[in-house]
Structure 1
Amino acid sequence: MAQKKEGSGLMSSAGLMRYYDSEETAVLIEPKTVVTIAVLSGLAVLVLNASYGIWP
């Protein structure tokens, strides 16, 4: 009969604890916000190109 090591459970949960700790401190941005910023940036570039006469 093989004996279990008592420390094996603690070692395997250490990675999960680090994962949850890092998630609490991370900056969370919604995907809709990222898409909106990208679309607005693209439109701003097009408007500036048109206003400076660089429009093809």
Structure 2
Amino acid sequence: MLIPFHSILLGFIALVVGLSLIILISCISIFIITHAQCAVIVVVENQERLWRQIR
């Protein structure tokens, strides 16, 4: 029982596309999380400066 070549090729392409999608999604989520942390830090620092100016 031989497996046709095109089905192997399609399976390989599907595997590569799936893996690249997973990697892309994880990279985007890491990017968003790190930038959200940076934004929170910047906002907190700005709030502290504003409080000092008000006082």
Q: If the length of structure 1 is used for normalisation, what is the TM-score? A: 0.46
Q: Which has the higher contact order (CA 8 A, sep 6+)?
A: 1
Task: Choose 1 or 2 for highest CA Rg.
Answer: 1
Q: TM-score, normalised by structure 2?
A: 0.47
